[in-house]
Amino acid sequence: MLWWLALPLALARLLWRGRVQPGYRHRLGERLASRRSHTPRADIWIHAVSVGEVQAAEALLRQLLATTPAPSLLVTTTTPTGAERLRTLFGETIPQRYLPFDLPVMMGRLVDAVQPKLVIILETEIWPNLLAVLEQRAIPVALINARLSERSARGYARLGSLTRSALARLTLIAAQATADAERFIALGAPPERVIVTGNLKFDQPQAADLAARAAAIRQNWGAARPVWIAASTHAGEELPVLEAHQQVLAQWPDALLVLVPRHPERFETVAALIERQGLAYTRHSAERPVAAHEAVYLGDRMGELPLWLAASDVAFIGGSLMPTGGHNPLEAAASGVPILVGPHTFNFATISAWLLDAHAARRISDTATLSDAVRTLLASSERRAEMGARGRAVVAAQRGALQRVFIALAPWLAAAVQAPLNSDQTSRNCASVESPSHSNPTDSVQTT
């Protein structure tokens, strides 16, 4: 009953978000699991809530497409930006649908339409009614690249038996790190179903033309200008970032700040803030070169962040100045860009710690320390190169999660494609989507 009572509020929120992001208003039938919404059958159904999860799933999806025989796939997302990212990566090769609200009748309707042999969920999405429906139909479900911050664990703990019963319905939990695995077990996950496989995002393939495209956009920005980026910023962060940039401009009058808000519905708010600060700016959507007097480039399009990071000299990772928990710094590290993070990095605590310990990242706390760090790095190409090389080394050292996840899923994947998957095929497929310099790990799946 409580689920149904919450439905009007959920619909109202969806329509409200649709005022700024029209994608939320489209295909509402899918969000309600309407029988009129054509949903294709699929051997394997993968749920990736948004952009970050879709990117984490990319290597696995490419590996599944390379499997012989290849299973039929379906990807569900919750956000339009996640759907757009999937289309950018795979075109129409993999069908995409929106996940409906977590009500038994809606989830049951979707599961019966898809008829999956295996369901794979990315990272932190725990939907009690979906898991109950899958259990009723004896469909295995794996939570992969699973992570759980201390804050999220406390929230789930307050739900008590609801969390325990949901976790008990998972066939497999492949956690990113030991700390994540321990939190899942503490919340009630059966220990024998929890393993540690590492983070799939370390194995995310980098576009072959990324460096060339980054060089081209630097020409658009002004090839000789020093450039720093504030990526995935949240409310309360843009003002200190802009204030820090004004201090940077005092030393480098031609410096450019690439400012990329995390959520598209905030683009106009951030544009107004830039104007109030008296800074000349342009927007990505203007589709023109940046003028010499323009000090800020507002990244008002989703899906371009990897390119903008690769084209920047220094990267500040947003969500970390405010107690939001920070966003993933791996894309910056993989591109060899020096990283700055604020005091709040609990969403990616392990990754942040690795980068900080390797001196590939530096922690800042406010406008003054952010400005100081940016100016210090812009002043030294040698220091930037050293930090960038250390970041790339961290990424290279942590690769291998893809193969470990594939090995862990092998029994259910074999059932889904109705053919055995041997270790030789697993290794070949993994090598085909990973960096050429990657050495496949020889250790087996690590259990907690």
The enclosing domain of 132 has a CATH number of: 3.40.50.11720
CA distance 105 to 109: 6
Please name the residues in contact with 284: beta carbons below 8 A apart, sequence gap of 6 or more: 297, 298, 299, 300, 301, 304
Q: What is the pLDDT of residue 205?
A: 82
Q: Check whether residue 296 and residue 420 sit in a common domain.
A: no
Boundary (domain end) residue, out of 397, 414, 438 = 397
Q: Check whether residue 350 and residue 428 sit in a common domain.
A: no
- Give the residue numbers marked as catalytic: 53
Q: Check whether residue 383 and residue 412 sit in a common domain.
A: no
Q: Check whether residue 130 and residue 192 sit in a common domain.
A: yes
Q: Check whether residue 64 and residue 85 sit in a common domain.
A: yes
Boundary (domain end) residue, out of 356, 374, 397 = 397
- The whole-number mean pLDDT for each consecutive block of 10 residues of the chain, a chain of 448 residues, reads 61 66 74 82 97 93 90 95 93 95 94 97 94 98 95 93 96 96 97 97 88 95 96 98 98 98 94 98 96 98 93 98 95 97 94 97 98 98 98 96 96 84 53 35 33
The closest alpha carbon to 109, from 36, 22, 158, 193, belongs to: 36
Q: What is the pLDDT of residue 37?
A: 76
Q: Check whether residue 51 and residue 79 sit in a common domain.
A: yes
Q: Check whether residue 347 and residue 220 sit in a common domain.
A: yes
Looking at the 3D structure of the chain, how many domains does it have? 2
Q: What is the CATH number of the domain that holds 228?
A: 3.40.50.2000
What is the amino acid identity at position 97? R
Write out the two tokens for 247.
């201090």
- Tell whether 78 is covered by a domain: yes
- Tell whether 12 is covered by a domain: no
The torsion angles phi and psi of 54, rounded to 5 degrees, stand at -60, -45
Q: Check whether residue 53 and residue 152 sit in a common domain.
A: yes
* CB burial string 2-32: b at 16+ within 10 A, e below: eeeeeeeeeeeeeeebbeebebbeebeebbb
- Tell whether 57 is covered by a domain: yes
Q: What is the pLDDT of residue 153?
A: 94
Q: Check whether residue 299 and residue 334 sit in a common domain.
A: yes
* CB burial string 339-373: b at 16+ within 10 A, e below: bbbbeebbbbbbbbebbbebebbbebeebebbbeb
The torsion angles phi and psi of 250, rounded to 5 degrees, stand at -65, -30
The torsion angles phi and psi of 369, rounded to 5 degrees, stand at -70, -30
Can you state the angle between helices 423-433 and 401-417, rounded to 10 degrees?
Answer: 120
- Tell whether 190 is covered by a domain: yes
Q: Check whether residue 296 and residue 342 sit in a common domain.
A: yes
Q: Check whether residue 218 and residue 90 sit in a common domain.
A: no
- Tell whether 2 is covered by a domain: no
| Helix segments in 137-221, DSSP class H | 150-157, 161-168, 178-186, 210-221
Contact 277, 244 (CB under 8 A): no
pTM of the model: 0.83
CA distance 1 to 272: 43
Q: Check whether residue 219 and residue 363 sit in a common domain.
A: yes
Q: What is the pLDDT of residue 10?
A: 66
- Tell whether 294 is covered by a domain: yes
Question: What are the angstrom distances between the C-alpha of 43 and each of 119, 125, 281, 351, 438?
Answer: 9, 20, 48, 33, 30
* Number of other CB atoms surrounding residue 126 within 10 Å: 23
Write out the two tokens for 227.
């450039």
- Tell whether 252 is covered by a domain: yes
- Tell whether 204 is covered by a domain: no
Quote the domain boundaries for residue 86.
20-198+401-447
